[in-house]
Amino acid sequence: MSFIIRKGKAGDCKAALELIHELALYEKAPEEVELSLEQLIDDGFGGNSIYELLVAEDRGQIIGIAIFYEKYSTWKGRCTYLEDLIVTKSKRGIGAGKALFEAVIKYSKEKNSGRMEWQVLDWNVPSINFYKAYDAELDGEWFNGRFTREQIQKIDLD
């Protein structure tokens, strides 16, 4: 294989944000990405960082990323949450997604995570098949509830 997997740096965030936009477009929600490059850098590499970044690099080009963080479960305790696993379209099929995903499993193993979790759209068949090949459980019994930032600010509290 021609790529390597390594820990991300602040300087990778520009390429990471491009991949985040590429995925949002595929997920039919391009307008939902409100995150700025400055925010992404600060949230991952500032004094109070909240996520971990792994990148797949192919001859100097970032072709894929995994972004994950420690979440909490009142059933399992500290868990690993994989927020994004993205490989750019032109570089699929060379194993970068597999290598990134397995690096996150390795991280979860070392952390002794209570679970490793992620979400996948119910119509994203290639990704669903990718996860099924690992015997992952894919559970469609839950709704995601949410308020937007605007709703949070507008709700009238007594």
* Catalytic machinery residues: 131
Handedness of CA 85, 91, 97, 99 (dihedral sign): negative
Q: Of 7, 9, 78, 92, which lies in the binding site for a copy of itself, with binding defined by CB under 8 A? A: 78
Would you count residue 128 as binding a copy of itself (CB under 8 A)?
yes
Q: From the CB of 133, what's the least distance to a copy of itself, in Å? A: 11
Would you count residue 35 as binding a copy of itself (CB under 8 A)?
yes
Nearer to a copy of itself, 58 or 127 (CB): 127
Would you count residue 89 as binding a copy of itself (CB under 8 A)?
no
Q: What is the dihedral of CA 123, 124, 127, 128, to 10 degrees?
A: 0
Q: What is the dihedral of CA 56, 127, 90, 106, to 10 degrees?
A: 10
Would you count residue 51 as binding a copy of itself (CB under 8 A)?
yes
Nearer to a copy of itself, 34 or 89 (CB): 34
Give phi and psi for 120, each to the nearest 5.
-140, 140
Cα–Cα separations (whole angstroms), residue 121 to 8, 26, 150: 26, 11, 24
Please choose, from the candidates 47, 48, 52, 70, the residue with its C-alpha nearest in 3D space to the C-alpha of residue 13.
Answer: 52
Residues forming the site for a copy of itself (CB under 8 A): 20, 24, 29, 32-35, 39-40, 43, 50-51, 67, 69-78, 81, 83-84, 102, 105-106, 108-109, 112-123, 128, 131, 134-149, 151-153, 155, 157-158
